[in-house]
Chains A and B, each alone.
Chain A
């Protein structure tokens, strides 16, 4: 059993209204010094057996076509032992 974590976030140049709303809440709750908040999402995939390079490629493909919108989002894929 291995775990593959896919992190998806809006590209840095894209406006993140949710992140901005969270940042606004920080100020109201008294947390100062936070200059920017970017919100993303994380997918944790539990994989049967070993994560072979072929399997990893498949996951990357899925990350690009299903889990993220490559027009406005970036993603990273990370294998956890």
Chain B
């Protein structure tokens, strides 16, 4: 079999090459020729095409993402920042935590089960390549309309895939989100977050240093999976009639991944590794070029040494393969045998495929012929950068002007109508209990899960002696972002921040997964630019650095993009998980308070969406100083035992918050609606920076004093009682009651009925 090699590329410059089919534009192809001073070989073309794809190169987003680095707040907890596989944060006592969220949207639409499963596998390998032990995963998910016939296929596949892979790995799934909206019909979002913990001295970076060191590929064999998945799948819009291109989908093997975790942690702890990199999108092309580019700059690879599952694979395919469960390590020659012994112990195949050198080039041989000779930086880091045009779309004015006023959308205005709305909203798919999904995930494996769904954030004990722990939440109301992407991203961040603080953990760091439509559409690019700026500004204000993230573009069908969905993850630390604040009230006689101000803010709310299918107006106002003070109140009240429970107020407003607390506690309460406010607005407005807290009766004054110290509005609204009913008084002069059994039944029946 003849292979296109460097010599023939030099000799025959006029060969026609399929750069366009590989997703490269003509000017990008010309630039490759300029870099190399000749046409690329077919293997080089394969490498550049995958590495310069949107998914790997961030070519459309880079110019905007710089803000996360430029606007980085003073925060000494950040140990490793953006650019590595995942950021690392100091949580005290010598512990460090790494966390990251990534998208696996397109593969999960084509093949929901394997797409979602391999999404978990990929993010877990990111975490282990930093030297950390994965301790938990979370999945923010977005699906199309619940009643659409295709949604059932996608939901069932994705949920089963996440459960199947995560449960086999033995990682607890401690939270996430599930949101339904027609905008995701042809583009479901599967974002996967993983958290890992380690001691400071165990942090590892992806670089190939030390001339003469060996490059070892270990893990699963390389097969024909997902070839070009990155360049073709993740960087191109689906046609309206569904995925036309069906590249071979990657199939994951969680049992192999489990071995890979243990093997990798053992070689790292034994000090056998100089640099390490996981293989995800773009496979060997990505791992070798990034390792070489981050290190001293030279590497030689004998590609024919790669262990194959299918011996007929061509060198181009081997370079591009996205076979799962593979890792690449740089090891000193004297330690190679010890490394291979550890691999053998874990029943993992490993082979030395290359060597670090000082040539400044990445060279690849295939059975004695040189098929690649490139500067590694040009592949890995110096890809094209686009200043794509962006412009605020004309339709924004009309959308923002269409506010959900009482005249525009009929509101309930009697006690009877409020009760009817209450029962409808509890059974709205976006608010309904997610038990049907989360019960398919193992939430408590490893024995360190302190809080999991449906609590405000997931919480994991890190140190079993001191009780030090971390809390993580992910949030995004994409409807807010659709109404105003700048504020929408800030609101997503604020909600996530608040969710972490609500459980008693101090927010420390931010990660993100920015899901948008096509960057070639100036309207989408504007949404993206606004969201990134909003998030960066908010992080600067709140003093929480962005430690890393992921961008997923081309989430659109035909000309219709998804709602801009900047999913924001916030990580917090708690000194002792035993001091956490849960969401359920505990005993009769406790006082219930609302912290924060409720305004007439229904634009983008769940009520407007569920009852009226309406999206218009301006999202709730957000004052970050208030948000920060609210968090301080929640943290101090938790630390000083002033409160026994707290719950964030977001989707579905106060009504939903009260319902969730009552169901969780299986105990009733009486809520007296404020006389000076419209009952409907009080119950279903989604104003930002609010929480419900519960205090033992004798602490009421202390709590009020704490709130006034931070300038946070506090309203006593009722008390927990011994009944099994949630009772609202002063609802348009009447009363509304619902039994907890009735509310729970309505809430829990929704998802099983739709998808069970």
User: Which residues of A line the B interface, CB within 8 A?
Assistant: 10-17, 20-21, 69, 71-72
Is B114 engaged at the interface, CB distance under 8 Å to the other chain?
A: yes
A14, B255: Cβ atoms closer than 8 Å? no
Tally of A-B residue pairs with Cβ under 8 A? 41
B111, A14: Cβ atoms closer than 8 Å? no
State the Cβ distance, B93 to closest chain A Cβ, in Å: 39
B310, A72: Cβ atoms closer than 8 Å? no
B251, A15: Cβ atoms closer than 8 Å? yes
A15 to B324, CA, bound (A): 9
A55 to B111, CA, bound (A): 29
A16 nearest CB neighbor, chain B only: B251
B111, A13: Cβ atoms closer than 8 Å? no
Say whether, besides A12-B310, A15-B225, A71 and B251 are in contact (CB < 8 Å). no
A71, B110: Cβ atoms closer than 8 Å? yes
Across the interface, A15 reaches (CB within 8 A) one of B110, B111, B246, B309, namely B309
Query: Could you list 29 examples of A-B contacts with CB < 8 Å?
Result: A10-B251, A11-B248, A12-B224, A12-B310, A13-B223, A13-B224, A13-B225, A14-B223, A14-B225, A14-B248, A14-B249, A14-B251, A15-B225, A15-B251, A15-B253, A15-B309, A15-B323, A16-B251, A17-B251, A17-B253, A17-B256, A20-B253, A69-B111, A71-B110, A71-B246, A71-B249, A72-B114, A72-B248, A72-B249
State the Cβ distance, B733 to closest chain A Cβ, in Å: 58
A14 to B247, CA, bound (A): 11
User: Which residues of B line the A interface, CB within 8 A?
Assistant: 110-111, 114, 220, 223-225, 246, 248-253, 255-256, 309-310, 323-324
B107 nearest CB neighbor, chain A only: A71
A13, B310: Cβ atoms closer than 8 Å? yes
A11 to B246, CA, bound (A): 13
A12 to B252, CA, bound (A): 15
Complex interface: chain A residues within 8 A of B225 (CB): 13-15
State the Cβ distance, A40 to closest chain B Cβ, in Å: 14
State the Cβ distance, B543 to closest chain A Cβ, in Å: 45
State the Cβ distance, B110 to closest chain A Cβ, in Å: 6
Complex interface: chain B residues within 8 A of A14 (CB): 223, 225, 248-249, 251
The 4 closest A-B pairs by CB, nearest first: A13-B224, A17-B253, A15-B251, A71-B111
B251 nearest CB neighbor, chain A only: A15
A71 to B250, CA, bound (A): 10
A72 nearest CB neighbor, chain B only: B249
State the Cβ distance, A12 to closest chain B Cβ, in Å: 7
Complex interface: chain A residues within 8 A of B224 (CB): 12-13
A11 nearest CB neighbor, chain B only: B248
Complex interface: chain A residues within 8 A of B248 (CB): 11, 13-14, 72
State the Cβ distance, B95 to closest chain A Cβ, in Å: 34
Complex interface: chain A residues within 8 A of B252 (CB): 15
State the Cβ distance, B502 to closest chain A Cβ, in Å: 41
Complex interface: chain B residues within 8 A of A10 (CB): 251
A13 to B114, CA, bound (A): 14
Complex interface: chain B residues within 8 A of A12 (CB): 224, 310
State the Cβ distance, A38 to closest chain B Cβ, in Å: 11
Complex interface: chain B residues within 8 A of A17 (CB): 251, 253, 255-256
A28 to B250, CA, bound (A): 28
Complex interface: chain A residues within 8 A of B324 (CB): 15
Complex interface: chain B residues within 8 A of A71 (CB): 110-111, 246, 249
5 extra A-B contacts, CB within 8 A, seeds A13-B224, A15-B251, A71-B111: A10-B251, A14-B249, A17-B256, A71-B110, A72-B251
B255 nearest CB neighbor, chain A only: A17
A72 to B225, CA, bound (A): 10
State the Cβ distance, A37 to closest chain B Cβ, in Å: 12
A20 to B349, CA, bound (A): 13
A21 to B259, CA, bound (A): 14
A11 to B111, CA, bound (A): 14
A21 to B111, CA, bound (A): 23
State the Cβ distance, B259 to closest chain A Cβ, in Å: 12
A80 to B235, CA, bound (A): 46
A72 to B249, CA, bound (A): 7
State the Cβ distance, A13 to closest chain B Cβ, in Å: 3
State the Cβ distance, A73 to closest chain B Cβ, in Å: 10
A67 to B611, CA, bound (A): 40
State the Cβ distance, A9 to closest chain B Cβ, in Å: 13
A11 to B225, CA, bound (A): 10
A26 to B252, CA, bound (A): 22
A71 to B244, CA, bound (A): 12
B249, A15: Cβ atoms closer than 8 Å? no
Complex interface: chain A residues within 8 A of B310 (CB): 12-13
A21 nearest CB neighbor, chain B only: B255
State the Cβ distance, B710 to closest chain A Cβ, in Å: 54
A20 to B295, CA, bound (A): 36
State the Cβ distance, A56 to closest chain B Cβ, in Å: 25
A59 to B256, CA, bound (A): 36
A71 to B224, CA, bound (A): 14
Complex interface: chain A residues within 8 A of B309 (CB): 15
A32 to B246, CA, bound (A): 37
A11 to B114, CA, bound (A): 14
State the Cβ distance, A44 to closest chain B Cβ, in Å: 26
A66 to B712, CA, bound (A): 58
State the Cβ distance, B242 to closest chain A Cβ, in Å: 11
State the Cβ distance, B108 to closest chain A Cβ, in Å: 12
A17 nearest CB neighbor, chain B only: B253
A69 to B255, CA, bound (A): 22
A21 to B224, CA, bound (A): 19
Complex interface: chain A residues within 8 A of B251 (CB): 10, 14-17, 72
B310 nearest CB neighbor, chain A only: A13
State the Cβ distance, B52 to closest chain A Cβ, in Å: 24
Complex interface: chain A residues within 8 A of B255 (CB): 17, 21
Complex interface: chain B residues within 8 A of A21 (CB): 255
